[in-house]
Amino acid sequence: MATVIDGKEVAGSVIEAVKTASELLQKETGVQTGLAVVIVGNDPASHAYVSSKSKMAKECGFTSVQHTLPEETTQEELAALVQTLNADPSLHGILVQLPLPKHLNSEPIIQSVLPEKDVDGLHVVNAGKLATGDLEGGLVSCTPAGSMVFVRRVHGEDLSGLNAVVIGRSTLFGKPMGQLLLAANATVTIAHSRTKDLASVCRNADILVAAVGRAEMVKADWVKPGATVIDVGINRIAAPEKGEGKSRMVGDVAFAECADVAGVITPVPGGVGPMTIAMLMANTVIAAYRKAGRKAPKF
């Protein structure tokens, strides 16, 4: 039976390290780390995310600023707010909660955030720094960064000689995850829906990362015995056992059967999920250190 990674516990240890780093920065330089979160519209899931991010920022000792804009906000109004936040020296991180309402174009908004304040790691400059292996200069997208914390805790900093397979090639996760694994010296394959005989590609992986958005697609016979399996999927499936119309959350990995084969596995929920907010806080304090001309902490 695999060792199951407790994402909440690992995320908690990252948050503790962030608190320590932000306290130290304030004590030594007088700088309080600042995070601004912008939300447009009434999407309940987005509001839940934003309130948990703002709450965590306060817990970490940050200045936490939240801008809640009405559904009918125009592209120009949102762009003007981002420019104001860019110019505010007390803010080190800016996060625009996605998805935006349909009438707004998110890409120019994301790209208008200063790269050094882009704590979501979505700016092309940050993507480019990751692609060229500059892990010290950019900010890495939170979910791959969090997944990488798990990998390092299992295998250490150097993944030389290990085969890693990432299923999924999205700009948000698959590509940056592949680049992080590559930077740590793993031999990386990025597989996807067009990959021929996906199961046999996966069976070669010492580290298997699933991010396709298909419920329980990865079966036990896809997993190399003793492999580390990181499940990034979030899918809702019917759960009639809970009552009519009820659902439950599962990952892209058939957890119960794969846990019998894998060496280490992350659950859904409670695996990668909690790490995303923790790494957002880590990115914000890293940005604050860089702005203050200090060597940024590692998480």
**Is residue 162 within 8 Å of 206, Cβ to Cβ?**
yes
120: annotated active-site residue: yes
Distance CA 6, CA 270 (A): 7
Residue 245: partners with Cβ closer than 8 Å, 6 or more residues away: none
Distances (CA, A) of 21 to 31, 168, 192, 244: 11, 34, 38, 48
Sheet containing strand 63-69, edge to edge, reads: 63-69, 34-40, 93-96
Catalytically annotated residue among 118, 120, 206, 252: 120
Residue entry with tokens 């979030």? 234
97: annotated active-site residue: yes
Q: Which helix (H) or strand (E) holds 3?
A: strand 3-4
Distance CA 89, CA 80 (A): 16
Distance CA 71, CA 29 (A): 39
CB neighbours of residue 107 within 10 Å: 9
Distances (CA, A) of 45 to 50, 97, 118: 9, 11, 22
Structure token pair of residue 174: 């698959």
User: Which of 121, 163, 150 shows the shortest CA–CA distance to 273?
Assistant: 150
Catalytically annotated residue among 6, 26, 27, 53: 53
**Quick one: the chain helix, strand, coil %, rounded to 5?**
45, 15, 40
**Residues designated as active site:** 53, 97, 120
